[in-house]
Amino acid sequence: MSSFGFYRVAAACPQLKLADPAFNAGVTLDLMQQASENETDILVFPELSLTGYTCQDLFFQKVLLSSVLESLKVVVSASGTLFSGLVFVGVPLIVDDQIFNCAVAIQKGTILGIVPKSYLPNYKEFYDARFFAPAATAQSNSVNLWGQNIPFGTDLLFVSPDHKGVGIGVEICEDLWVPIPPSCVQAIHGAHILLNLSASNETVAKANYRRQLVLNQSARCIAAYVYAAAGSGESSNDLVFGGHCLIAENGSLLAEGKRFQRESSCLYADVDVEHLIFERTLKTSFGDGVLYSGAGGKQSFRRIPCTFSKRNPKGKLFRSIDPHPFVPSQSHQLQERCEEIFQIQTAALVRRLETVNPPKVAIGVSGGLDSTLALLVLCKAFDQLGWPRERICALTMPGFGTSSRTKNNATLLMEKLRTPYKTIDIRPLAFEEMRALGHSPFGIPLESHTVESLSEEFRNVPPERLNDLVFENIQARLRTNLLMNSGFVIGTGDLSELALGWCTYNADHMSMYNPNVSIPKTLVKFLVRWAAENEFEEPVRSILLDIVATEISPELLPTNHTGQIQSTEATVGPYELHDFFLYHLMRYGTSPRKIFFLALQTQFDRKYSPEEIQKWLQVFLKRFFNNQFKRSCLPDGPKVGSVSLSPRGDWRMPSDASSAAWLNDLAQFPIEPMNEL
């Protein structure tokens, strides 16, 4: 286990020989050796892995039952030196004069506990009840093997007290397929990692159903779920087994094995127990399960201690860390996501507009990404309401930093969308306000200048002197003032800007409704591109695509003599990094040093150095804490995804909180090269 709450799990699929426990024990040891080399914490074998699941009436034969005990002893003995993690193998075992289908937990030369199968399928191709007894019929709660008294029963949880009490629950094949699986009860009593020793046969489309079953159970239980299935070594009298191994975490598929392999294999993944614990604490209804009667009621579980060795906390993970967690990587998923978000935005805005029914709806259009998306949503909302677009009052308000590209795109877009608009040059208004305040922008006195001459003078200001917050805020607030006096104002700012505080208080920070409020910048770009390719025809499509290709800028500072515009990302950092930081901080409460570790697991380190990633993470943390006062008084807007900063919904935070502890946490992760496994 790494120090970041990751546990490496493996689902083994051995190529066994039916009714040959000695051979199967040898294959088991080989896979244990492989798992050990990969620093695995928990290794799971299929159902009845030391005999095979399809032995049928051979399970009654003394030779097989005696042989499997000898082979189990070999595995237990070898585990003392071969594999330090926790391993589960499947065996038939006589207890109370009945044969039980069991999962045996082994660690460091000792059997920690034995869990019998609860539910026995006895329909269609399954005849489990012919050979085995259900767990409920057992009288004993322990078994004596080789002089050791071993806990036996379905009330066992394997818990590591040294590692935040991580719990492991076990069920066997059919246990998962019933209405209330044992793993549900195990989860609400402290199992974070659920294991299934299975021998599920293959039929057409069954793999899809099985996959969904595992994913749904991991989501319902807010747990990791490791499913190890019997492979092609099982009998094919009437059944075929494909070795369909799966590892899921809270509804997401981390790894899936290839079916119908002819060689033994192990499927690996690192599951994040820290994230699972955070999710359970956040969703208070999870713990309510113990309050109710039936299978979800309070039960007495025996907690069996187990231990895990610490791995190098900077090693490479056996899981993919998405560098763009807000943006689906699969094209079809991205298309579906964009369409759904656009519909959510539109539906929310329609509901607010039909309630208020304003005579005019005002929106500022700059030619940038955010205002473009908001304008597209507004037009669709008007179409759904059956309102004429003449009720839209669109303003484009060029200032001292406006480029010809964005100005032209804003104007063309409004024309082609048939949206009435006005162009208001805010420079004279800003000039008069600065003169009234006695403010000299960049140290330039205003007395000897006109608006036009001042604009020309700005071109000669050295880049290092282009730093004037009053100059920027005056323009931003003038624009908002004009909008507020023009109608019901539609906001355009996005989630990423709110997280960073990259907005002017009571300027672009304020509106009467904001459809973009919970959409991160990385997703805004994809939404505009999606709209261009799916919702609009030429020439609107070309305009939208050019807006997507334009550098992100507030365009409040003047362009230099080469025409270079003010760059947002050069000032506050790359949005793809900030959105990554925001997602993990908000979605899972992840510590800064773990966020940094996860960022290094992505392809970011090929684009940004570790020093750059750390630098921008520090910037993010400082800005996130320092700008909560802006988020504490946000206007309404729809929650779109799992991360939102609305003070009425997802995020309540004191505006005076200090970022010191978070920055100190990040400082505890020194920059060193990542180790490859």
Catalytic amino acids? 47, 117, 173
Encoding tokens for residue 408?
């032209």
Is-contact 167 155, C-beta < 8 A?
A: no
Under a CB-based contact definition with an 8 Å cutoff, are residues 253 and 239 in contact?
Answer: no
The full DSSP string for 117-172 is -S----STT--HHHH---GGG---SEEEETTEEEEBSS-EEEEETTTTTEEEEEEE
Question: What is the token pair recorded at 572?
Answer: 């506050």
Provide the 10 A C-beta neighbour count for residue 541: 17
Record the tokens describing residue 258, joined without a space: 């290839």
Nearest to 646 by CA among 491, 469, 533, 529: 491
In the numeric block, which tokens belong to residue 436? 């009234």
Cα 76 to Cα 108: distance, rounded to the nearest angstrom: 8
Which residues, 6+ apart, have CB-to-CB distance to 209 below 8 Å?
none
Buried b (16+ CB within 10 A) or exposed e, 339-369: eebbebbbebbbebbeeeeeeebbbbbbbbb
Element of type H or E holding 99? strand 98-107
Beta-carbon contacts of residue 109 (< 8 Å; ≥ 6 apart): 76, 77, 79, 80, 81
- The pair phi, psi for residue 338, each rounded to 5°, is -65, -45
What does the alpha-carbon distance between residue 458 and residue 479 come to, in Å, rounded to a whole number? 21
